Every structure is written in C-alpha cells, then in structure tokens.
Amino acid sequence: MRDRKYLENLMYDLWEEYFSDIPRKNLVLIKFGKYSKRQLGSIKIANEYTKIKSLLKKNLDDYDVQDDKRVTVITMTKYFQNEIVPEYVVSATIAHELCHYAHGFSSPLEKRFDKPHQGNVINKELAKRGLLESQRLADKWLKDNWVGIVYPLHKFF
Ligand SMILES: [Zn+2]
C-alpha cells in the first residue's frame, strides 16, 4: 500500500525533473483523500488548518522557512494507494495539479488565466514540458481499467 511519503517523493521528483523553472513559494503538501471516483486529484489552499495539522507537524521545518505562510494541499484519490494503479497514472495526476500551481491557481504565483481549465491550458502546459504523452497513456489506462477494475476493489482494501 502506498503512503503519503510515496506521494511526496513522486511530487518532488516531478517538480525537479519537469517543473524546475516554477518556484515553490510556499509549503506544498500532498496527501491521500477519500475514495473519489471522479475527482482523482485536486489542489487547494488550506483554509482550515485544523484539518492539516498533523501533516503540518511532520513538515514543520519546511513550513517555518517559508515567507508565504499559506499552505497548498494536493489531494489524491485514495484508490491510488493500491499498486494496481500504475505509477504513471499517479504521476500524471500530480503533474496536472502542478500545472495549476504553475498557473497561479491555489498557489502564491501570479494568476495566468481566468479559469484553471480555460482553452486547453493544461494540455498545452503538459506538451511544453514533454508530459503530454504520459498524460495520454494515463488517460488510456484509466479509460480501460477505472470503472471495471478499480471501483470494485474499494471493498477489499
Ligand atoms: Zn484540473
């Protein structure tokens, strides 16, 4: 079973390899959320600190050094804990959320568009970073497996 540390490593690797030009201006946390079928990932600015208190404690050193005290929280569907979901699917979902961060949504960076999914901006961003093919592979895997294989698993783990 994958844990939060796993997500954290995946996110930092992605950031280093594909988003190194995007400054991390605040603390960015990543965690598993509920068993969400439709929303695989989300990115928010935490406004209820009580909810992320335990996460904050674990990252206190990282938090203390930030000038911007807002905390960005990326949440992944709990289905991704199961190793039946390929890592590239998890990575693609994180990359999508990092595009939002880069565009100034749920991040301290300057907002680049009115709406987060306006005019295909995510795919354009992924293409620019050489990540579009991975996104396509992930979409294909999800299309072939999500409803039939992944939903029913929920009961067993
Ligand atoms: Zn999105």
How much is the average pLDDT of 126-152?
A: 92
Instruction: For residue 125, give every residue at least 6 positions away whose Cβ sits within 8 Å of its Cβ, in sequence order, or none.
Output: 99, 102, 103
Q: How far is CA 27 from CA 30, 87, 91, 99, 155, in A?
A: 10, 24, 19, 16, 34
Percent residues over pLDDT 70 in the chain: 97
Distance, in Å, from the CA atom of 78 to the CA atom of 18, rounded to the nearest integer, reads: 25
How much is the average pLDDT of 109-116?
A: 97
How much is the average pLDDT of 30-38?
A: 93
Question: Are 79 and 154 in contact, with CB atoms under 8 Å apart?
Answer: yes
What is the predicted pLDDT for the residue at 156?
55
How much is the average pLDDT of 31-41?
A: 94
Distance between Cα 36 and ligand 1 center (Å): 15
Distance between Cα 152 and ligand 1 center (Å): 25
Distance between Cα 63 and ligand 1 center (Å): 25
Distance between Cα 1 and ligand 1 center (Å): 25
Residue 49 has pLDDT above 90, yes or no: no
What is the predicted pLDDT for the residue at 118?
93
Residue 154 has pLDDT above 70, yes or no: no
pLDDT digits (tens, 9 = 90+) for 72-86: 999 999 999 999 999
- Positive or negative torsion for Cα 90, 94, 95, 100: positive
3-state helix, strand, coil in the chain (%, to 5): 55, 15, 30
What is the predicted pLDDT for the residue at 150?
76
Average pLDDT over the chain reads 93
Q: Which long-range contacts (CB under 8 A, 24 or more apart) does 53-60 make?
A: 55/4, 55/29, 55/31, 56/27, 56/29, 59/27, 59/29
**pLDDT band at 148; cut points 50, 70, 90:** confident
Which amino acid would we find at residue 62?
D
Distance, in Å, from the CA atom of 31 to the CA atom of 29, rounded to the nearest integer, reads: 7
Distance, in Å, from the CA atom of 21 to the CA atom of 102, rounded to the nearest integer, reads: 9
Give the lowest-confidence range in 41-50, 66-75, 101-110, 142-151: 142-151
What is the predicted pLDDT for the residue at 155?
60
Distance between Cα 48 and ligand 1 center (Å): 21
More confident residue, 64 or 106: 106
